[in-house]
Chains A and B, each alone.
Chain A
Amino acid sequence: MSSASNSSTLRHVLPNGMVALIRRNPGAPTVSVRGELRVGAALEPPELGGLAVFTGAALTRGAGERSFHQIVAETEGLGCSVSAGGGTQASGFSGKALAEDLPLILEILADMLIRPTFPAAEVERLRGQFLTGLRESEQDTGYRASIAARAMLYPPGHPFSRPSSGSLDSVAAITRDDLARFHRRYHPALSSIAVVGDIDPPAVVAELERHFARWQPDAPPEPVSIPDAPHLVGVRRDDIAMPGKVQADLIWAVHGLRRSAPDYYGAMIANMILGQLGMGGRLGEQVREEQGMAYYCYSDFEADLGAGPWVAAAGVSPENIERAAQAILAEIELFRQEGPTDEELDDARDYLTGSLVIGLETSDGIAGSLLGIERHGLGLDYIERYPAIIAAVDRDQVHAAAQKYLSTESYVLSVAGPV
């Protein structure tokens, strides 16, 4: 149980290990609550794929003394909302309310995390919705290309090799007991909660103590850990034919890096220049602006607890698939060889530091940033230090990251689209 504060953020650790980050933002009479648990699909057995996502979504379906009806009637009656969901590396929960209604939101979120009831009828309804969602995903070209790329990038059994939403078979097999059992992995020592808005921080600490201190699981915490994947050698390709479609989604992918990697900032800026800045960086400039081949072409990576994929993606008409793939590979190779120009580096650094105030404008934005800072142990002064961190990233670091991670010799390519 300790509290620390930096400028305006109060960090308070509950006796059970839950970390609270509280910040007053009086810009609007509202409050945002966002939280996470480092428990996710990485911990579920593959045959029960979708279990973490299912468990997270089921938390609103009944908790404490409240039924699903009561939860939605009480919250929505006040124009507020609570939600929860699972992902591969973490599960999340959130609430949004007028500031006056924060106590209700915290009470219900605490019940959702500590005392979910998983009513059998609600579990079945949720299952039906998930199955429809999966059927829709299976006919989505972007989703199909993405899971095909992951299946080639990571070996079977690796948490990143499969979608966190599971499959039609695995979701059909999950029982109510599986949900309750998975929920036992939820642990305060693996959780953090950010509360930001027109609030009084000490009063919020008292409310959090009141609602969350009773969270005392028997088992010790077991956090998610993501293994490294074996090196990719050579080119693997998967073409998926989907009847009725008119456009194909194309994904090039390699292994990225963990957020804790020492070259994270170099890689992050490399990604911005390659496929983010402006209308999709160099990739957008070449594939969209110069060649007019696609409405979107960009790159992105998932650098979190594990090293997720680093992808370049485009939506193209079927006759342009090979041309677009060649154009993407050519841009990647050029960037690998030459690295960024000084001008590009200045663009990226100026954007990252300049736009900081925009990302921190809303309470949701601030709460999300605080959770990220906590997850990666960056320290409460991270936002103040950030401009100096970015200013210190030089051309060589960006070039080195591009050379280390990007490849035109060993990569996977997936294409999902018209037959």
Chain B
Amino acid sequence: MIADPLLAISDLAIAFRTGHGVARVLDGVNLSVGRGRIMGLVGESGCGKTTLARAVLSVLAPNALIEGGTIHFGGLDLLALPRARLETEVKGRRITFVPQDPYGAFNPLFRVGDQMMEVMKWKSPRRQPYERGFGPLLTRFPRARYKTDREALIALLNEVQIPDPERALAKLPGAFSGGQRQRLLIAMALMTNPDLIIADEPTTALDVTIQAQILKLLKRLARERGVSILLTTHDLGTAYEICDEVTVMYAGQDVETAPVAAFFTHPRHPYTARLLESLPSPNREIKEIGGEVPSLLAPPQGCRFHPRCERASPECTASRPAKSGTGGHIVRCFHPLTMAAEVAP
């Protein structure tokens, strides 16, 4: 376990009311992100990684029910924090967000610079306490910090390698390619000097050569600025590239957490092992997992992977296995693979 983590989620359970019943989307999830570390949250679609990310950001949909658990962030209990403090201190300030779709994130009718400065107006780290309230809705940008804020923004654009930032700010979003927009969004996430950035599939919409550039950039910025990143992805290759630790989720449960090297060479949870085996590789035959992801409206009891697991025994159906493992490599399984079992990459 990490001593003094920046973000510590424990036993978080979230359900959604739907027209067909209650969907138990997160079932007792545990996750920690250390200061300045990059944590990868991997899993298949529908496993709850986006719900977890949204819970940390406090932007869950109105039909979400938080059924238990805590989210501690830098000494604050986010689920118990009064809404006003959450809004003024944490949301979009100490925790920021890089979305998946760089095309949908900007309003196509406003200049990029205006959209970014609008965020600065409200959330600049140089904002003074006397500016509180709804004043900025009605007034122009506070003159006292307009220049410094704009300079800070241009410095950030330089950092994310946008050519000619002065002129870039005067352009419409349509003038930028997907890769460049993703760079702008990363700059936008850094504007408030956050402690934690939540990046939800930041490279899924991009081509492979652009993806490599963006991942390289994210990794460098995290190292230089000491920002923690919680990166959700369904692409194990992305996780391998930039993460320090990886947590795997399956159908709303965290099944394994490990340092990146151990995760890919010595997976211990049967699901993780099968997931790695289903990656295409020229060196071995491709293997499928078999079966399908369960419906969260009526999930299996106990370990949710047991209907697809060849190691399952009656105790797997009875209760959820406790955490076990050493040295930051934690697995929640009654029958984990031994440390020696190696999966060919």
Instruction: Tell whether A pairs with B.
Output: no
**Interface on A for B, CB 8 Å cutoff?**
none
**Interface on B for A, CB 8 Å cutoff?**
none
